[in-house]
């Protein structure tokens, strides 16, 4: 298959692009700064542009069999979020269907689900609590609801599916690659290397998943005949930030850092997402511990370089 990937040079996207290519498919990647990724350009065609460049999208999508939407549009207010992300997704959705694309995968987020309820799975009602979650939830509704046209054109043939990543981290897969955008790994590593206190919230953590692991789900879904499905993409093990700090101290034992925990009254028993669906349908289940340790080690090594 020839696959058009937006956001294919980002935290998740670079691993998805590599996985798509390594599984025998051709990738065309949309990026705002393609010149930053010469290593990836050796494996995929990289097109300079933004997800709101609709004429450009139409030009490249028309020759593709599948589209994977990973790129994130942003805004500080409801209308700008609507225009930059949801509207961009809906436009790409329609462009893809009109071009005869067979498969469309939309990257949402667990933020679309909003209010945390223990044991939530893909059937939980979305109750977003911020604009980002609202944007993702609205885009999901368009992806799932685009089953037919009005005015007599008829049914939509394109298979449409959704992946909801949780906290996804990554180390660069090549020297000019990207890494995860959250600064907490970096801040913990810097504190440890410089023997400063590591201040965290007691019992704070999540079901981490690596970008390399989540890329496996994209490929499985891409190569399947699924349509109208949602998949949560998280690890099956809860890891606290306190545990991450302790692992960082293992990798830099000469540190004099102490872990300081702010107690906000959070319970020791975590609320968990139910991630059994991707295991049932594709045999995928990730505890993420090996990749997580490698990512912490990479951050500590980078902190040592920054310290000089």
Q: Please count the structural domains in the chain.
A: 2
Residue showing tokens 């000089």: 308
199 within some domain: yes
> Is 90 found in the same domain as 17?
yes
The helix/strand/coil state of 80 is helix
pLDDT for residue 176? 83
135 within some domain: yes
pLDDT for residue 72? 86
CATH code of the domain containing 260: 3.90.25
> Is 179 found in the same domain as 157?
no
> Is 22 found in the same domain as 110?
yes
Assigned token pair, 146: 């685009």
What is the full per-residue pLDDT of the chain (308 aa) written as tens digits? 999 999 988 889 999 999 999 999 999 999 988 888 888 989 999 999 999 999 999 999 999 999 999 998 888 999 999 999 999 999 999 999 999 999 999 999 999 999 999 999 999 999 999 999 999 999 999 999 999 998 777 899 999 999 999 999 988 888 888 776 678 999 999 999 999 999 999 999 999 999 999 999 999 999 999 999 999 999 999 999 999 999 999 999 999 999 999 999 999 999 999 999 999 999 999 988 999 999 999 999 999 999 98
pLDDT for residue 251? 97
- The two beta strands, 103-107 and 159-165, are parallel
> Is 144 found in the same domain as 43?
yes
For residue 191, give Cα distances in angstroms to 38, 259, 295, 306: 32, 10, 16, 12
> Is 160 found in the same domain as 300?
no
- The two beta strands, 198-201 and 154-155, are unpaired
> Is 91 found in the same domain as 17?
yes
> Is 130 found in the same domain as 106?
yes
CB atoms within 10 A of CB 49: 18
245 within some domain: yes
> Is 57 found in the same domain as 83?
yes
280 within some domain: no
> Is 225 found in the same domain as 150?
yes
CATH code of the domain containing 22: 3.40.50.720
> Is 244 found in the same domain as 225?
no
| Burial group, residue 74, by CB count within 10 angstroms (0-12, 13-18, 19+) | exposed
> Is 132 found in the same domain as 56?
yes
Look at residues 299, 277, 276 and name the one whose alpha carbon lies nearest to residue 187.
Answer: 299
> Is 48 found in the same domain as 186?
no
283 within some domain: no
277 within some domain: no
| Cα–Cα dist 154/149, whole Å | 6
HSE, CB side, 13 Å, CA atoms: give it for residue 133.
14
Considering the entire predicted model, what is its pTM? Answer: 0.94
Dump strand ranges (E) for the chain.
Answer: 2-6, 26-31, 45-48, 66-69, 103-107, 148-149, 154-155, 159-165, 168-169, 198-201, 205-206, 209-210, 230-233, 239-240, 259-262
What range does the domain containing 7 cover? Answer: 2-167+210-233
285 within some domain: no
pLDDT for residue 288? 85
The H-assigned helical ranges of 24-174 are 38-41, 54-61, 78-81, 87-98, 131-145
124 within some domain: yes
Look at residues 212, 232, 238 and name the one whose alpha carbon lies nearest to residue 277.
Answer: 232
């Amino acid at each position: 298959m020839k696959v058009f990937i937006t956001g294919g040079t980002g935290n998740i996207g670079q691993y998805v692009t590599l996985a798509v290519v390594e599984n025998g498919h051709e990738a065309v990647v949309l990026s705002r700064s393609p010149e930053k990724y010469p290593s990836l350009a050796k494996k995929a065609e990289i097109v300079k542009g933004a997800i709101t460049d609709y004429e450009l999208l139409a030009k490249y999508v028309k020759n593709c069999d599948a589209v994977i939407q990973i790129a994130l549009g942003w805004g500080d207010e409801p209308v700008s979020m609507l225009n930059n992300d949801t509207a961009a997704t809906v436009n790409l959705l329609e462009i893809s269907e009109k071009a005869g694309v067979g498969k469309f995968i939309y990257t949402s987020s667990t933020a679309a689900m909003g209010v945390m309820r223990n044991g939530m799975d893909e059937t939980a009602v979305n109750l977003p609590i911020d604009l980002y979650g609202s944007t993702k939830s609205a885009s999901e509704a368009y992806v799932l609801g685009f089953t037919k046209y009005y005015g007599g054109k008829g049914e939509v043939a394109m298979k449409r599916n959704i992946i909801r990543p949780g906290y996804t981290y990554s180390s660069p897969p090549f020297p000019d690659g990207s890494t995860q955008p959250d600064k907490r790994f970096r801040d913990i590593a810097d504190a440890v290397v410089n023997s400063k206190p590591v201040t965290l919230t007691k019992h704070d953590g999540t079901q981490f998943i690596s970008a390399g692991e989540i890329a496996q789900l994209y490929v499985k879904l891409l190569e399947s005949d699924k349509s109208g499905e949602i998949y949560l993409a998280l690890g099956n093990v809860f890891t606290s930030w306190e545990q991450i700090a302790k692992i960082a101290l293992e990798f830099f034992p000469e540190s004099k850092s102490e872990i300081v925990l702010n107690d906000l009254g959070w319970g020791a028993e975590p609320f968990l997402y139910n991630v059994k669906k991707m295991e049932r349908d594709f045999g995928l289940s990730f505890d993420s511990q090996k990749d997580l340790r490698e990512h912490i080690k990479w951050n500590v090594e980078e902190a040592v370089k920054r310290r000089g």
